[in-house]
Structure 1
């Protein structure tokens, strides 16, 4: 492998670019945007006809007609002969325990349907999207933890030096290794193309990098929960994105990687987002991991979203899901264009702003493919979910995904 100095270029400094930010959101605006998206989705996906304070629906059998914990109970069997076999919180004649099969071991877990009339259970039944919001809060908290964990692991060697070495190793691999055939264009050349003659476009990309990633991903999760033909289809996409997250977070901890924008000036990159004062509020703060270039979660999310949109178009499926309406040619082509265009746009953005290497995007795509194939690993957490629901005395709500396709007097 060639020495890193062969990657350096004569540095001309920031005199190449004197752009000024056209507009800047106040610090409170982005959290308000994300919260608005989430609460709007919570309202749109509410269970219609269900009243939180009116328990008559339970007495008339409304909740009995719903598949309790529909998103996970199809993975279990009830112990019909086990009445009295389990003592304590798991056994009543009316609410037999749930038998969860976890890694070949059958675990009797508490039946939380006894808590369905508790106030917070009824709130969840009315607004089942609250569960999804909770899952993504856990994801975000895990991301915040990666910075602390990585700094602790590399405290002796110095995380900044380690991350810089990893960033230069990525550049060298792209340019001088056998894999160079996959990277005919250099990141520096992409940024320079925008900086010399296409600065307005780069200003747009700076804003896009800061403002699209989190609101766009949250917006997609909300939208797909509403429009997916079934909860199983939505859950497949959500589990894939979640496992991609966890794979990326583990990589962030053990392989800190400096983004191009933070490399020494002689490598020819400029931190255009900060230069334009366009950074997102999510990019600042004590626990933001600035040395998490590998893989690119910007591209990982966009790739997963793009593939989901292509699936949703129905162009490459011979059959539709139960209750799924046929789309016109216009909508099929529309979803296909967005499905291809969105990850392409994000790839251009992350490279032009010097926030990621091309290799980061390749690894993110591989993580998505891996996560799609092994997303069912999250089934092992179902018993833990049962136990947590028991502790808070709540029943998991039945998802409303797919309800919009149901006919009032027809199929349900």
Structure 2
């Protein structure tokens, strides 16, 4: 197999001598994720809303929302401060239907406030994070359905032009760890296996609670969702094997399997092993990092409504974490031979494009109206951002 890549082969094969740092039982990862999700449900519950009783309490958002909140995967409250955004503006009537003006079009859908007394509607009003869990399950199931040489083509592209001078060779990075720092590489194996799903779920749960407004949170979530769909489409159209699956003569070692550190979420017959391009490990990390930098307020002259300028120590903490987290993930995916540098570059581009076009998901709002009407659930009013009203400083 001669593709002009002879200089990529390893000159010396290092032996794996490191002892795995620790091993989690198979049930531990799902338990961690469940603890995060149900913990988020508890932390983000509507404290002044009661499920049981002859007449359930009526919840009115402190942000000026009403029962016609807009969700596209996003239950955005109708905030009068944001009425200039015609894509999120919605006109409610006093009749049995709701008119929404989205993406330049006007849609009409049935109102759902008549279902507020239904028990499942009350539960959803009390625990809004159930909706986030539902939409992320859809994302995960869609990935499991995306079930090769393209990896060699990626290496060839990286050898040419400016890219060859911008990044070191993936093989050199893994060999550096293999020959000198196998204990560190053993830790990175665990980082690769354990951080991706629990870390991302934990971030969504945390930001749902601390975001200055639900609109800001929904922008982040829509960006991640659109990045997902772009990546899943790429997996189908351009299946690409990671370096660890290349023939042995190219010198890469599957260190995660050598450490027996595979994640239960990334194993099984429905997992797509030819999904290196782009790297969603890095795509998520980059999106999370950008959000943390934004949340710090360091580069924002004007804060959102109700926000208070954070102390310098906390600002630098968020900036440091926002830069350090994606850098750690980048080193991890390369050192463990799970991705190429080009995978991370493409993932970065996907996140930026998704951020600029994330409101395309608003086109699904009328479908959600009808779905809620069919299952007889009142459209919930979001609570994200209420912690800043009245003005007070929190995380």
Do both share a fold (TM > 0.5)?
yes
> What residue in structure 2 maps to residue 23 of structure 1?
22
Alignment match, 2:159: 175
Instruction: Decide which of 341, 363, 368 is 1:358's aligned counterpart.
Output: 341
Q: Give runs of aligned pairs for residues 149-164 of structure 1, distance below 5 A.
A: 163-164=148-149
1:202-240 superposed Cα distances (whole Å, 9 cap, x missing partner):
000000000011100000000000000110010011111
Partner of 1:116: 116
Q: Give the CA deviation at 1:73.
A: 6.4
For the pair 1:135 / 2:135, whether they are aligned, the reply is: yes
Specify the SS of the correspondent of 1:49. Answer: coil
Q: Give me the whole-angstrom Cα distance separating, in 2, the residues matched to 1:77 and 1:170.
A: 46
C-alpha distance in 2 between matches for 1:358 and 1:282:
23
- Is the partner of 1:107 in helix, strand or coil? strand
Match of 1:241 in 2: 224
Separation in 2, partners of 1:73, 1:404: 15
CA distance in 2, matches of 1:16, 1:189: 15
- Residues of 1 paired with 2:90 and 2:15: CA distance? 66
Larger % of helix: which?
1
- Name the structure 1 match of 2:81: none
Distance in 2 (CA, whole Å) between partners of 1:357 and 1:5 is 15
Distance 1:62 1:263, change over 3 A: closer
CA distance in 2, matches of 1:55, 1:397: 20
What is the match of residue 159 of structure 1? none
Deviation at 1:197, TM superposition (A): 1.2
The farther-off stretch of 316-325 and 223-232 is 316-325
1:257 aligns with 2:225: no
Residue of structure 2 in register with 1:400 after alignment: 383
* Superposition map of 1:330-345 within 5 A: 330-345=313-328
Paired residues of 1:57 and 1:63 also in contact (CA < 8 A): no
Equivalent position of 1:106 in the other structure: 106
- Give the distance between the partners of 2:293 and 2:204, measured in 1 at CA: 15
Distance 2:10 2:305 in 1: 61
- 2-structure distance, mates of 1:78, 1:340: 41
Q: Paired residue for 1:48?
A: 47
Q: Partners of 1:310 and 1:360 in 2: how far apart?
A: 23
Distance in 2 separating the partners of 1:214 and 1:79: 38
- Taking a change above 3 Å as real, the CA distance of residues 407 and 76 of structure 1, as seen in their structure-2 partners, is closer
Alignment-derived partner of residue 38 in structure 2: 39
Question: What is the Cα deviation at residue 31 of structure 1?
Answer: 0.5
Q: How far apart are residue 394 of structure 1 and its match?
A: 0.4
More displaced stretch, 394-403 vs 298-307? 394-403
Distance 1:250 1:43 in 2: 35
Give the match for residue 125 of structure 2: 125
> Aligned-pair distance for 1:262?
0.4
User: Is the CA contact (8 Å cut-off) linking 1:72 and 1:382 kept in structure 2?
Assistant: no
- Closer/same/farther in 2, CA of residues 384 and 330 from structure 1, 3 Å limit: same
Pair 1:387-2:370 in alignment: yes
Q: How big is the shift at 1:57? A: 4.9
1:214-363 maps to which residues of 2 (within 5 A)? Answer: 214-363=197-346
- Residue 6 of structure 1 deviates from its aligned partner by 2.3
